[in-house]
Chains A and B, each alone.
Chain A
Amino acid sequence: MAATASANSLTSTFLPRQGVYGSSHQSIQLRTQKFARKAGSGTITAKFELQPPPYPMDALEPHMSSRTFEFHWGKHHRAYVDNLNKQINGTELDGKTLEDLILVTYNKGAPLPAFNNAAQAWNHQFFWESMKPNGGGEPSGELLELINRDFGSYDTFVKEFKAAAATQFGSGWAWLAYKPEEKKLAVVKTPNAENPLVLGYTPLLTIDVWEHAYYLDFQNRRPDYISIFMEKLVSWEAVSSRLKAATA
């Protein structure tokens, strides 16, 4: 009979859940790791769980359809999490936080087998939380100041971000990231599962440019998808809150 110990909540840079699902949590909780103790055997296995996006699946219509979420979250993201759990179960990677797992399995550019699933699990969670219903608009406050300082203007930043997303050949992601050493913002594009964590940067915003992210809604029209993302989906609150945590 397996007894489940209480969930170990992890702090991360993701924004607190609020709004649609009611109460906002004090602690920033992204992933719950449930530790299951099997009676008699003494084994502890940690399992990552697939968290739902912080809004209902049809909340981003018509800009991102609920059909897309059904597949993108329900199949792709779920598969990354499930496969990751299978890969690390019983190995020395078991029990690590997801961020640690990513850095360890990145293995300085010679990635171990679990890297793709770990990074993709993280990337997708980050992506859902980079968007919100009635998103878009423009950033404000400290974030806008930094954008103006490091890109010249918000429009220049948007242009650079869109270009990075459009020119990432094949599968990948485009990011706004904070470089802690230089204390500067930067736009970064990464292939496949890579993300700025492995570069030592702090991610602030991302857009998924794997074709599965936009194919049902936009087919090959990636630039349209990117524009809609910027105009209608981006959660500047999430970005600001991540910046605050990064510069604290």
Chain B
Amino acid sequence: IFEKDSTVNCTAEVLYHLGNKNAAPDVQFTIEGELKNTDEADNLFYNRIKSLKNELVAENIPDSYGNVPPEMEPIRALAWAASGYVIWKNSNENTKYQLAQIKHVKQVKRSDEYLEFDYMILLHENVSQEIIPWQMTVLWHPQHGIEVTQNSRQPKHV
């Protein structure tokens, strides 16, 4: 589990359904130790976004040179977590997905306490080497966690 100053081991048992290729694999995991408490950073980010006058919009995270502006790190972390869900749902024993880049992200204003982001991400599939655009709508709240409410594969640009 990636984190600059703390590494936690995680073991997982992944069972691919050989019969039904469209089913997501079964995953049982065990985290060895404890995850760092991120309440403070979460709340800081939450309040920062909530107080923005205009909806957040960003693109190309990281950029061509691998740069991520510090204020975009939480946006990236959110995408990383959300893409994990999308990847899980679309994995089989012949795929290996990684989040390659956030092409575009747009905040969607909500009347409730949740933050909503509309992401267009690029997934890199390591076996076919394809770069697959994928749309995902992500809901997040510091106490209630993350939810991917919508996601769909997009056509590749020629």
Do A and B actually bind? no
